[in-house]
Structures are given as structure tokens and as C-alpha cells.
Amino acid sequence: MSKHLGVWAYSESSELLFELIGKGRELASKLQTQLTAIVLGHNVTEHAKELIGYGAHKVIVVDDPQLKEFHVETYLSALIPLSKQHKPELFLIGSTKRGKELAARLAARLSLGCVPDCLELEVDEQGRLLARRIVYGGNAIVTQVFRTEPQIVTVPRGKFEKPNYTEESKGEVVNITDIQIETPKTEVVEVKPVSMAETRIEEAEVVVGGGRGLEKKEDSKILEELAAILGGQVGYTRPLAEDRKWFTEWVGLSGHTIKPKLYIACGISGVIQHVAGIRDSNTIVAINKDPEAPIFEMADYIVIGDLYEIVPALSAALKKVLGVGKD
Ligand SMILES: Cc1cc2nc3c(=O)[nH]c(=O)nc-3n(C[C@H](O)[C@H](O)[C@H](O)COP(=O)(O)OP(=O)(O)OC[C@H]3O[C@@H](n4cnc5c(N)ncnc54)[C@H](O)[C@@H]3O)c2cc1C
């Protein structure tokens, strides 16, 4: 069996790919190999050049009209022959919904191992990759090593730093033209946009969190007002989204991971699964009427009281101090 060499990085999300390139470079240097970014799509050469600026030694591009829109079967039909031919030792894939689907199918089709949602990746003294992820509903961190190569891991957004862009960086862009892209077995007949916040919650500098302390969906208005004053966004705990069906997304272990400069947790108990998604926030303010609430253990500032009194009072005070609403 010929030796596997090189670290690969792929994500359809540019920002996540930049982060993977940053981490991939670090791992590649420890493994004494090179970092290659993979770009699949149509008319994507400019994007490929940009990746060299972010630190990729090499970029492999498969540019094909059939790859213009993401379809897991077409993308797989490019990745499978690429992986077989070039034999990377490690393949970092962005943990988006699409990335996870792709990684799992790639691993299954090539009979490989796959570790999803890695929060830490390091190379030990024996040169083994140690992949860490949260298991048992957030109650334990497991460390896994691979028995197969390429080692496939998926990495969520915001876990690793985006590297600086350097115009002078040198690297090679390789266009692969001899891959037969499969026609997918299903066809997309319609795509309807869903209403989305202007900024992704992962990018917000201020997030106001709402939990089961909210009695009615309409009460989220008071959190929205506070978030608007601070130029931030509102995020919720899973019970409000999944159980009460008030919202479609949530923050935490099974939802978004955020690291804003300021997180204001309102009526949130601070259970481990929620904390897993906010623990990298710079400053945490917690408002809770229960003095024993676990969220207070990790908060930088605690406010014991009723969110229905405190949040509007905070908004009013901030409006005054920041001059919001004045001409
Ligand atoms: C596998 C798994 C994955 C999960 N993933 C996630 C996840 O990604 N994200 C997530 O959030 N949860 C997740 N959960 C659920 C998680 O375990 C908790 O149930 C959830 O985080 C609790 O949400 P909460 O804080 O809103 O509610 P509660 O735990 O019920 O807390 C409500 C808090 O509000 C306070 N309160 C009540 N009224 C007021 C008031 N008027 N003013 C001030 N404070 C008030 C209470 O004192 C209490 O502390 C997951 C669970 C499992 C099993």
C-alpha cells in the first residue's frame, strides 16, 4: 500500500475554509507535509488563488458546470477519485450540514473512519492525529485516533482562528480536468429562501440569549430590543426552538457555536449542552431569578432577578447612555 501524504481542507463556506487552512497548516507542519485546499464548483479559479493568500501550499480545483450548485452525489463523484488518486493522510472538512453529509458518505464509500465535529485536533509525539469531540450529550470529551487513511474529520465554524491574508504568498493551483462528474440521481426542482438574520449568529459581536425564562414567544421582543440597541443578535436555547417550536435554530452543543465579545444570557439555566456553544464568549452576563442557577458559575457578571424587569430596565439605561433613538 502506497503511503498517504498531505493534509487537505475543504468547505463550501469560504470563512470556514480559511479557518481549516489555518489549522491545516499547523497540522501539516507537525506532520512535515503540505496543506492542500480543495475547491469544487464552477468559475472558481479566483477563489482558488485567494486560498494561497490564506496559507494553502497548493489548491486542487475541479471546475465543472455540474458542480455549480451543491449536490452531494456530484461533489462525491469529484472527491472520491481525487482522494483515491492523491491519497492525503488527513482530510479536514467543514462541519456544515453539507460538509457533514459529504464527509460521512465519503468515509462510507471508501471504507474509512470519520470523526465529526472535532473541537480539538493535535498531533502526538508518535505522529498520530488525536481528534477530540464532545460525547454523551456534552458530559464527556472523547479522544479518537484513526486506523484508516485518509483520516476524515469535520470541524465546526469558529473553532480555529482565521489566518491573516498575505498577498505575497506563493502556491500552486492545479486544475483537474479528467474527472467524470456523475449526473445526480435526484434533481432539485425548487429552492425557496427562508428568512435569515442579516449577520450569521456566529459572526455577531453581541448575542442576547433567551431561555425557558421567557413565558411567551412574543416576549422575545424585549430581547430583540436589547440586541438591537447593542448592534447584536438574539439566540435561543434548544427547548425554545425544538420543544416549543418558537424558533428554527438554537445555540449550544447541537446548535450554533458562538464566541461573541458579549453574551447576555436571559432566563437560561446554563446546562452543559447550552454552555458548550457559548463557553468561548469573551464576557458573559447572566440574568436569572434563581441565585443557584449554574450559569452564574461561568458568568463574568451576574444579575439575580426577573428578566421581565431587568432586560427592559437595561435597555432603557443603555439607550440613555448610548444616545440610541435621539436625533
Ligand atoms: C443531546 C442533547 C443536546 C442538547 N443540545 C442543546 C443545545 O445545543 N442547546 C441548548 O440550549 N440546549 C440543548 N439541550 C438541552 C439542554 O440539556 C437544556 O435542557 C437546555 O439548555 C435548557 O434550556 P433553558 O436554560 O432555556 O431552560 P431551563 O433549564 O428550564 O432554565 C430556565 C431558567 O430560566 C430561569 N428563569 C425562569 N423565569 C425567569 C425569569 N422571569 N427571569 C429570570 N430567569 C428566569 C430559571 O431560573 C432557569 O434557570 C440538549 C440536550 C440534549 C439531551
Quote the pLDDT of residue 46.
Answer: 85
Residues of the chain with pLDDT under 70: 1-2, 137-138, 194-198, 325-327
**H/E stretch holding 283:** strand 283-288
Helix axes 307-322, 220-229, angle to 10 degrees: 20
Output the pTM of the full model.
0.70
SS3 for 20?
A: helix
Domains of the chain: 7-175 (3.40.50.620), 201-322 (3.40.50.1220)
Of all protein residues, whose CA lies closest to atom 11 belonging to ligand 1? Answer: 237
Quote the pLDDT of residue 1.
Answer: 44
**Distance between CA atoms of residues 305 and 292, nearest Å:** 12
Contact 132, 142 (CB under 8 A): yes
Of all protein residues, whose CA lies closest to atom 16 belonging to ligand 1? Answer: 273
Let me know the angle formed at the C-alpha of 100 by 94 and 101, rounded to the nearest 5 degrees: 135
Measured from CB, residues less than 6 Å from any atom of ligand 1 are 137, 211-213, 237-239, 250-255, 267-269, 271, 273-274, 277, 287-290, 293, 306-308
Q: Strand pairing of 35-41 and 7-10?
A: parallel
Quote the pLDDT of residue 322.
Answer: 87
* Best residue among 237, 242, 244, 310 to mutate for probing ligand 1, ranked by most atoms within 8 Å of CB: 237
pLDDT tens column, 37-70: 999 999 998 889 999 999 999 999 999 999 998 9
